[in-house]
Amino acid sequence: MRDVGHFIGGEHVAGRSGRSSDIFQPMTGEVVGKVALAGADEVRRAVENAKAAQPAWAAVNPQRRARVMMRFLQLVADEVDSLADLLAREHGKTVLDAKGDIQRGVEVAEFSLGVPHLMKGEFTDNAGPGIDVYSMRQPLGVVAGITPFNFPAMIPLWKFAPAIACGNAFILKPSERDPGVPMRMAELMIEAGLPAGILNVVNGDKTAVDAILDDPHIKAVGFVGSTPIAEYVYSRATAAGKRAQCFGGAKNHMIIMPDADMDQAVDALIGAGYGSAGERCMAVSVAVPVGQATADALMEKLVPRVEGLKIGLSTDSSADYGPLVTREAVERVRNYIDIGVKEGARLAVDGRDFKMQGYEDGFYLGGCLFDEVTPDMRIYKEEIFGPVLSVVRAKDYGEALKLPSEHEYGNGVAIFTRDGDAARDFAAKVEVGMVGINVPIPVPIAYYTFGGWKRSGFGDLNQHGPDSIRFYTKTKTVTSRWPSGVKEGAQFSIPTME
């Protein structure tokens, strides 16, 4: 049993609230540790440390800040195997998938190395008679990130890497379900040369979240999680005068056109729908074959592939996916499957009774596949967040385009086709934030921006890419004129450049 506290002022500190939460190992269902749940006073202590350290860090030139991040990335690379093993054991995803989790975060940190260029302002010489105008980007001060269980390396890195590179101090509130990797990354940042107090980790639940949202010294908050909580965080943060970027749930569709390579489409659905046990905000959870013949051909190939999924230990390199994160997560997904059956969807593959031999207390669930799902069903409307794929048959392209466009979520969508005109039309018209063309999980590369539309995202700026620099900085514009001996007298009209 291990105890996990907080990381404040460059060192580990024990929890003081008297409250804690169990840390499970999903493979076995065993409790392997306790994580402290911060109270408001512990959040305040972290903020005070951050506030005291931030001005000196902001005064460090951006190239030197980038060098700290560069050393951090080398340290992560040196121990990626142990980080991935820790992540897999706490979350449940396979070690290979855990390495992907880390790598996608690393790529955003690599983008942040360009902060000397990314923070450059603009300059106009002689904008008016003897007048120069220039702008500069400056850090906000103390900012915070509230990150989810399903990507305990990637999402924290998406948040704190650009924020710290821009000269801010950061308060990270990771998921209490798998806190090990965020705590280790904070240690590695200190080893890389980050001053104490610039990255603080407070573990906790809603009490800690509310303390972050209400603290007047925290200028911006980023969040990833479910839509109801994203909306809550966004509303409370903005009411307190903070910047906020909050990303919520998803119902990602994949359209399969009649001309699609069916084997390629099935491979994509299997990986994108069932990888990480479906616990991804970009998981494909709805397949939309266009036309009856396409749907029948898809199901013919899809059913045996789902039946043949290998569910195993997170440490099993041959497993397709491992356990879900908690027993409650398994029960929630099971409940949705029961609802789908009651609503009249055809459960073509039923994985509810799967048991891992020798690990019967682990949080496992077999792959499930629904056919003949309709848009009025709850299993279509709501995010299930598990290894469940729903097939919604569309009679034509127009109906297929309408499904993701009219859904309340608008995170990601994909189309599989050989027709360039259809793909181009789909990309232009679909009302979704991220689009894949023969790519099932269209997560943009690090120097583009990640963000969904509609109830998948709240806020004007997205994650990573240039938007991250804009989010974590404020622009100051300077209009400058030096005396030249010319006396113009007082001017009472608004200044212009004529």
Residue 135's CB: how many other CB atoms inside 10 A? 13
Q: Which residues contact 451 (CB under 8 A, 6 or more apart)?
A: 245, 247, 433, 434, 457, 462, 463, 467
- Residues sharing a CB contact under 8 Å with residue 267, sequence separation 6 or more, in sequence order: none
Residues 6+ apart with CB under 8 A from 28: 359, 361, 362
Crossing angle between the packed helical segments 180-191 and 62-78, to the nearest 10 degrees? 130
Given a contact cutoff of 8 angstroms between Cβ atoms, the answer to whether 211 and 233 are in contact is no
Residue-level length of the chain: 498
Q: Which residue among the candidates 166, 246, 281, 368 is catalytic per the annotation?
A: 281
Continuous segment of H or E residues that includes residue 184: helix 180-191
The verdict on whether 166 is a catalytic residue reads: no
The single-letter code of the amino acid at 327 is R
Give percent helix, percent strand, percent coil of the chain, each to the nearest 5: 40, 25, 35
Which run of H or of E encompasses 20?
A: strand 20-25
How many other CB atoms sit within 10 Å of the CB of residue 120? Answer: 12
SS3 label, residue 296: helix
Residues annotated catalytic, as ranges: 281
